[in-house]
């Protein structure tokens, strides 16, 4: 009996050290050496300052920026510590109400845009944190952004193209646009330049 208890305790200690100490340290070390950017959160830096992560979306509502897809996290959208979906099925009337309200808001923001609203602009992702939207969802917003920001639509289309990630190996998945990276590029190249130009002309 005592021998069995000693064996069980020894096995417990060995497994605890292996799975609770050696394995995590080994995986952390491999991650830092082989995939340091991903292992540290895929952080996005601008001018030496961390402004976000390419894995977590952000909530944009100004008309001159691209809007992300809805987020179901609480208490705020894209809450990294509260990843969750809405858990509303396709036949749930509450989901239908949410989608209808979102379509109405998009159409109110750009009444001239008459094309169908891409589905990912009115539905949240399974995690509530997805930073990507479809190319169609990005192009749908160009008219609004062009009017609000005073930027040529051709220029905006080119910017979307530059920030489009193609499918893995050319066929796994769909082309997507990371809204955080896209808005950073938009802000850096055009919004900041416009503010600087405006400041110069008012002197």
In a domain, 178, yes or no: yes
Residues 9 and 91 in one domain: no
- Is the same domain home to 127 and 155? yes
Would you state the pLDDT for residue 24? 92
Residues 74, 159: one domain? Answer: yes
- Is residue 197 domain-shared with residue 161, that is, in the same domain? yes
pLDDT for the residue 203:
39
Whole-number Å distance between alpha carbons of 167 and 164? 10
Task: Please give the pLDDT value at position 191.
Answer: 67
Quick one: pLDDT at residue 194? 58
Q: Residue 192's pLDDT is what?
A: 64
Same domain assignment for residues 146 and 98: yes
For residue 168, the model assigns a pLDDT of 83
Do 100 and 174 belong together in one domain? yes
Q: Are 81 and 138 in contact (CB under 8 A)?
A: no
Residues 115 and 81 in one domain: yes
Let me know whether 20 and 88 are in one domain: no
Q: Is 45 within the bounds of a domain?
A: no
Helices 153-162 and 179-186 pack at an angle, to 10 degrees, of 130
Instruction: Output the pLDDT for position 85.
Output: 80
- Show the domain range for 17: 1-40
In a domain, 134, yes or no: yes
Are residues 60 and 14 part of one domain? Answer: no
Are 5 and 31 in the same domain? yes
* Residues in contact with 53: Cβ distance below 8 Å, sequence separation at least 6, in sequence order: 41, 42, 43, 44, 80, 131, 180
Neighbours of 31 (CB within 10 A): 13
Residue 185 maps to a domain: yes
Low-confidence ranges of the chain (pLDDT < 70): 191-203
Count of domains for the chain: 2
Alpha helices (runs of H) in 18-126, residue ranges in sequence order: 23-34, 36-39, 93-109
Tokens of 142: 């160009």
């Amino acid at each position: 009996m005592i021998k069995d208890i000693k064996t069980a305790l020894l096995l417990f200690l060995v497994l605890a050290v292996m799975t609770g100490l050696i394995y995590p340290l080994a995986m952390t070390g491999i991650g830092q050496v082989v995939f340091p950017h991903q292992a540290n959160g895929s952080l996005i830096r601008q001018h030496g300052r961390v402004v976000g992560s390419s894995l977590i979306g952000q909530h944009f509502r100004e008309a001159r920026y691209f809007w992300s897809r809805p987020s179901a996290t609480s208490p705020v959208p894209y809450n990294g510590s509260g990843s969750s979906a809405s858990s509303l099925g396709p036949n749930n009337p509450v989901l239908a109400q949410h989608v209808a309200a979102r379509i109405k808001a998009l159409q109110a923001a750009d009444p001239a845009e008459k094309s169908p609203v891409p589905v990912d602009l009115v539905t949240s992702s399974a995690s509530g944190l997805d930073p990507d939207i479809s190319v169609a969802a990005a192009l749908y917003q160009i008219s609004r952004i062009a009017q609000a920001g005073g930027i040529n639509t051709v220029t905006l289309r080119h910017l979307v193209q530059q920030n489009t990630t193609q499918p893995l190996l050319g066929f796994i998945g769909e082309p997507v646009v990371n809204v955080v990276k896209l808005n950073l590029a938009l802000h850096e190249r055009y919004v900041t330049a416009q503010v600087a130009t405006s400041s110069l002309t008012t002197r």
